Structure 1
Amino acid sequence: MKKVLVSLITLVMLTVALTGCTPAAVYKYGVGTVIAVSGSAAVPAAGEVAAKDGKYGVNVDIVSVVLDSKGKVVSATWDIAQTSNLKFTVEGALNADPASYTKTKFEKGADYGMKAASPIGKEWFEQSTFLTDYVVGMTAEEVAAIALSETGEATSTDILAGTTVGIDSFKEAFAKAVANAVETKKVAKYGVATMIAVSGAAAVPAAGEVAAKDGKYGVNIDIVKVTLDKDGKILTVSWDIAQTSNLKFTVEGALNADPASYTKTKFEKGADYGMKAASPIGKEWFEQSTFLCDFVVGMKLADVQAIAVSETGEATSADILVGTTVGIDTFIATLEKAIANAVEVK
């Protein structure tokens, strides 16, 4: 009897020990972006037909994904930073307010205004959520195999029940997110955020010997991904910018930029971004981004917020300036949003 009792106690202790030693799930975390720029020239008035503004439009799809050890989707998010209707007149004047572009499609929620026109009565954020929930449990190959119509919508009735918007750009960004995914251990929370900034300048007509100057729009989308431990300390972070600068138009309202040339983010351009020669520290943008992200690992949000920046947004600390001299104010602001958006990893 005594031996049996000892054996039972030993078995219980062993069970508890093994349970306590069960390793936490190790996942891969990734973000992918797809840039799409469109443009149309302004059309002068003709008889009774009024003039028509020209415009640029910029869509940046951002997909985040969490993958388990078998490559199956644990969770995913899909958002679009949309800066459409960047209008200009036939005289090259701005006809859009750059400051009005602050929220992504998902962030706009019901204010995006899709529900009334939707065949299933769903807002964009609801359709995005349905799709990302739908792919949970799938592998990258299974997501890639989702059939699409010629216009980019899913053909499966299972998907169309909750998502009727085009998902071709989602699939493309998802594939990039999977390719970019990095294994990280001891993650308690994971978050992604974007920050939109639009600038604009009207075209200037020629004056005497001074040549005319094109007008332009510029769109910067900061994208930050962060993983946090149980104490709120940063385990990993990435920073990229989808930059579509110099969307030019003439004083006659003609396009003077190639929309198809905008395909890569600053980080994706690597050495082709061309910052190294002009950099006071001889570093490319992707190198400066990497240095800053490595610098804040181990910090909490309050520590990052305490980093001093100049009036023009650069760090003032010599410890940071040795590796990152570009402005970091938008990085800090976007990181704040990413941490606020962070969800628990189970």
Structure 2
Amino acid sequence: MKKMLSVLLATTLAMSMLAACGDKDTNDAATTDNTATEQQDNNSTSSNDTQTEVAAGEIAKIGLGTITSIGKSKDAEGDKGPVGQVDTVIVAAAFDKDGKVVSVDIDNAQTKIEFDKALQVTTDLTGEFKTKQELGDEYGMKKASSIGKDWYEQANALADWMKGKTVDEIKAMKTTQRDESHPNVPDEADLTSSVTITVQDYIAGIEKAYNNAVDVKAAGGQKLGVGQSISTSKSKGLEGDKTPSAQVDTTIVVGAFDKDGKVVGSIIDTAQTKVDFDKDGKLTTDKAAEFKTKNELGDEYGMKKASSIGKEWNEQAQALADWMAGKTVDEIKAMKTVDQEGHPGVPDEADLTSSVTVSAKGFIEGIEEAFTKAK
């Protein structure tokens, strides 16, 4: 009897243990399924949030690519004084969440500073300097064009071709060499009748814009615009031991705007390029050198040490761009400013006084121009 009772107890205990183990496995499986479901829901929520933030076809990122050359600058020769020529290719672009081009603006700031044989500046340094887009038909390429189109028309046709494509698809463009000065002319069926200029710098510019692209600050971006201004006021002729120098400052403001005209993102930059000559009017700046914008120079620009707030130029430009986000152009133009020696229009807004001490006047004018030209 005792033996039978022992066997019965052992059997009952074993069955209880099996039942307990079975319940644990079932609970663990349920917990795992719940965790997976929760994770899936979170991922779905994240995906939906992203979709809500930037919808298909809207601007997700904006970028700026610049390429500067002084290759066409000339030494003094005979009765002809030297010439400092700065060519800055400007490619501003907006990209969607898949990296496809939503909008692109292609331009070229071709600026010449001329000197006489006495090495004095003859160019009017207070004059207006226009980019090729701004010159339009005044640039004068239409008459010489085999397709009867001026530079701006060809640049716009190239920009239209880029829309809807990724940078890799743009880089895959078929090209042909027309002559030594035109090594990369489009050889695409839908471009041969509209673009005969060489395009290598503009393709490099769109790639650079993509690599430098920054996220917009808000959803709803529909249009992209670019404002630029060119100053040569710091150019100087020969004076005592000081040799001639042509300096071109090309300020660029890129703006992305929503349907209500509010800024969803902006980029502020300046290409400050110097072309130096010796006392005989011979070029001393390396034509093959790489010329960086202030943003590209970063800490190399060297303003931080002299800054009263300890911030470099690119940091201050970024702070101003961030402040513009969410505002209309009229709200930006209403910024309170104060004029300081050599710096007109320094921000006097409480949320900018600790981050921006550079003159904002030119940048405000730039964002207004960008809005006017936005498309």
Structure 2 length as normaliser, TM-score? 0.76
Which of 340, 346, 354 lines up with 1:322 in the alignment? 354
Q: 2:229 aligns to what?
A: 195
Identity across aligned pairs (percent)? 34
Q: 1:232 aligns to what?
A: 261
Indicate if the aligned counterparts of 1:203 and 1:249 stay in contact, CA closer than 8 A.
Answer: no
Bigger radius of gyration:
2
Which of 249, 252, 266 lines up with 2:280 in the alignment? 252
Looking at structure 1, the residues matched to 76 and 315 of structure 2 have their Cα atoms a distance apart, in angstroms, of 40
Between 307-316 and 321-330, the greater mean CA deviation after superposition? 307-316
1:321 offset after TM fit, Å?
2.7
**Any idea what SS the aligned residue of 1:143 has?**
helix
Residues 37 and 334 from structure 1, CA distance in 2 versus in 1: closer, same or farther, beyond 3 angstroms? same
Q: Work out whether 1:109 is the aligned partner of 2:136.
A: yes
1:157 offset after TM fit, Å?
5.2
Looking at structure 2, the residues matched to 135 and 23 of structure 1 have their Cα atoms a distance apart, in angstroms, of 21
**Any idea what SS the aligned residue of 1:336 has?**
helix
1:55 offset after TM fit, Å?
0.9
Which of 160, 168, 176 lines up with 1:133 in the alignment? 160
Q: Which amino acid aligns with 2:339?
A: S
5 Å-filtered alignment, 1:275-314, equals 275-307=303-335, 308-310=337-339, 312-314=343-345
Q: 1:154 aligns to what?
A: 185
Indicate if the aligned counterparts of 1:146 and 1:154 stay in contact, CA closer than 8 A.
Answer: no
* Segments ≥4 residues shifted beyond 6 Å: none
Residues 81 and 120 from structure 1, CA distance in 2 versus in 1: closer, same or farther, beyond 3 angstroms? same
Which of 332, 337, 340 lines up with 2:369 in the alignment? 337
Looking at structure 1, the residues matched to 144 and 345 of structure 2 have their Cα atoms a distance apart, in angstroms, of 45
Residues 160 and 98 from structure 1, CA distance in 2 versus in 1: closer, same or farther, beyond 3 angstroms? farther
5 Å-filtered alignment, 1:71-82, equals 71-82=99-110
Which of 201, 222, 225 lines up with 1:169 in the alignment? 201
Which of 123, 128, 137 lines up with 2:150 in the alignment? 123
Which of 119, 122, 127 lines up with 1:95 in the alignment? 122
Q: 1:186 aligns to what?
A: 220
**Any idea what SS the aligned residue of 2:366 has?**
helix
Where structure 2 has 5 or more consecutive residues not aligned to the other structure, the ranges are 1-51
1:194 offset after TM fit, Å?
1.2
Residues 229 and 201 from structure 1, CA distance in 2 versus in 1: closer, same or farther, beyond 3 angstroms? same
Looking at structure 1, the residues matched to 167 and 347 of structure 2 have their Cα atoms a distance apart, in angstroms, of 43
1:253 offset after TM fit, Å?
1.5
Q: Which amino acid aligns with 1:135?
A: M
Q: What is the Cα-based RMSD across aligned positions, in Å? A: 2.2
How many residues of Structure 1 are paired with residues of Structure 2 in the alignment?
309
Indicate if the aligned counterparts of 1:273 and 1:285 stay in contact, CA closer than 8 A.
Answer: yes
**Any idea what SS the aligned residue of 2:98 has?**
coil
Residues 252 and 218 from structure 1, CA distance in 2 versus in 1: closer, same or farther, beyond 3 angstroms? same
